[in-house]
Amino acid sequence: MNGAQGPMRDAVIEVRGVRNQFGRQVVHDGLDIDVYRGEILGVVGGSGTGKSVLLRTIVGLNRPKAGEIRVFGTDVLRAPPAERRAIERRWGVLFQDGALFSSLTVRQNVEVPMREHLDLSPALRAELAELKVAMVGLPPEANDKFPSELSGGMRKRAGLARALALDPEILFLDEPTAGLDPIGAAAFDTLLHDLGETLGLTVFLVTHDLDTLVATTDRIAVLAEKRVLVTGTMEDMVRQDHPWIREYFCGPRARAARGAAAAGNR
């Protein structure tokens, strides 16, 4: 894993006092979280705890009712548009099921962020897109396919290629292994781990997949009671007394995931 575990950790994302509310429903209240440079942070929580809402709030798709969000030291909620746009170029987002444009090929999907942010010739843009597609383990023939012609696992990889289009420093992933079979999920976990190591990425990973948490994350943040209840390693989670955390991290599926990881490291 590529986590920053030293005493002088650099927080590239700082969330303070965030309140998210939709009508009368309060999802988050006084939520604080830090994400450190070079780490893979897994974000977990029960249904309705607002895992995806938190991700969407950080990347600007949802504006909180209160609080502060700093990315690379910039207050992204109050930054001028040009400064905000410059920060957005430094992150990539993979939404659930890839969220690809159905009328565009894989190559054209990957080119979308380049068209928006970079002044490149069509030939160079296509060449860079094909490089990103290769980086995520898709074959060359995938470039000319439409999303409807891809399997679920291939769509996830194509979405990841688009998220990597601008060589981001931060990667936001929303349930990247949801809906994949165990073999496909394990392959995606390996890909994520390898890309994180190779590219030095900071990863904000929303997931419920225990195998993914064990295989890829450096730290875990648990959402409960409208805030981040605890952060720490998998070993830290096992020692918690909170009922939901104990049920989630000490149940039979969690024990199986840890056992499989231990066997694979032998």
Please write the tens of the pLDDT for every residue from 198-249.
999 999 999 989 999 999 999 999 999 999 999 999 999 989 999 999 999 9
pLDDT at 90 over 90: yes
Q: Which of 64, 55, 141 is nearest to 106 (CA)?
A: 141
Q: What is the DSSP pairing of strand 66-71 with strand 74-75? A: antiparallel
- The whole-angstrom separation of Cα 14 and Cα 34 is 5
pLDDT at 259 over 80: no
Phi, psi (degrees; rounded to nearest 5) at 236: -65, -40
* Full residue range of the structural domain in which residue 237 is found: 10-90+168-262
- The whole-angstrom separation of Cα 106 and Cα 141 is 10
pLDDT at 3 over 70: no
Whether residue 250 is contained in a domain is answered as yes
Q: What CATH number has the domain bearing residue 28?
A: 3.40.50.300
Whether residue 46 is contained in a domain is answered as yes
DSSP sequence for 185-236: HHHHHHHHHHHHHHHT-EEEEE---HHHHHHH-SEEEEEETTEEEEEE-HHH
- The whole-angstrom separation of Cα 21 and Cα 84 is 23
Determine what percent of the chain is predicted with pLDDT higher than 70: 91
Q: Dump pLDDT digits (tens) for 95-152.
A: 876 689 999 999 999 999 999 888 999 999 999 999 999 999 999 999 999 999 999 8
Whether residue 117 is contained in a domain is answered as no
pLDDT for the residue numbered 113: 94
pLDDT for the residue numbered 264: 59
Whether residue 85 is contained in a domain is answered as yes
Whether residue 217 is contained in a domain is answered as yes
pLDDT for the residue numbered 1: 46
Whether residue 119 is contained in a domain is answered as no
Whether residue 72 is contained in a domain is answered as yes
Mean pLDDT of the chain: 91
Whether residue 137 is contained in a domain is answered as no
Tokens of 243: 């009922």
pLDDT for the residue numbered 19: 97
pLDDT at 55 over 60: yes
pLDDT for the residue numbered 265: 56
pLDDT for the residue numbered 7: 44
Query: What is the number of structural domains in the chain?
Result: 1
- The whole-angstrom separation of Cα 107 and Cα 11 is 33
Residue 252 or residue 234, greater confidence = 234
